Amino acid sequence: MTNKSRSRTQLRALTETAIFVAIAVVLHMLRFRLPLPQSGSVSFILVPLVILSVRWGLRWGLLGCFAFGILRGTLLASSFWGWQSLVLDHILAVAVIGFAGLFYRKGGTFPVLAVVVAGLLQFTMHWLAGWWIFYEWMPPEFLGMPMTNPMAYSFVYNALYMVPSILVSATIIGVLANPLGKYFRGEDLA
């Protein structure tokens, strides 16, 4: 690859990263808020961020997801509870979606599996943040269940919105995988 074509590829990667991050911002604004005490919503941000990661690989996926995490944490967050919440629950919880870039492979990708893995990583970050930060606000009862364990409370709380987000995003990616398969695999970049 010549320097000129490498430059062109890098510029295209940067441009597409900005576009996917912008799409994620719009989808974040169109989320379905749930009536939970410390926030939580069903969102489709996994779709553009996983497509970015699968298409361009780990480096661009992590970079784009981290950039979106900063935007989400600083400009789009409805609430955060101190710097720990900002870093863990907003920035890093989204940045880990970029690990879907591990499913990047010329000639074949596994986008639905990438969504599930990325969503589970995001869920894990929210779960840990809830366990470490939000335990102070754990109610004595949640969804009719007594709550005495912050780890269990955070697991149930975050599963309420992350499981639907993962399932819907995996379904959307599954529907798009066949008609946009060449795009996901980056075959149009040759």
Q: What's the predicted TM-score (pTM) here?
A: 0.89
Tell me phi and psi for residue 121, to 5 degrees.
-65, -45
pLDDT tens digit sequence for 141-178: 777 777 888 888 889 889 999 999 999 999 999 999 88
**How many whole angstroms separate alpha carbon 20 and alpha carbon 31?**
16
DSSP β-bridge partners for residue 42: 32
> Exposed e or buried b for every residue in 127-138, given b needs 16+ CB within 10 A?
bbbbbebbeeeb
pLDDT tens digit sequence for 2-54: 887 888 889 999 999 999 999 999 999 998 877 676 667 889 999 999 999 99
Structure tokens at 174: 């599954």
Residue tagged 């697991």 (tokens): 155
> Exposed e or buried b for every residue in 140-175, given b needs 16+ CB within 10 A?
eebeeeebeebeebbbebbeebbeebbebbbebbee
Sorted by where each starts, the structural domains of the chain and their CATH numbers stand as 3-189 (1.10.1760.20)
pLDDT tens digit sequence for 81-138: 677 878 888 899 999 999 999 988 765 568 899 999 999 999 999 999 888 887 677 7
pLDDT of residue 79: 63
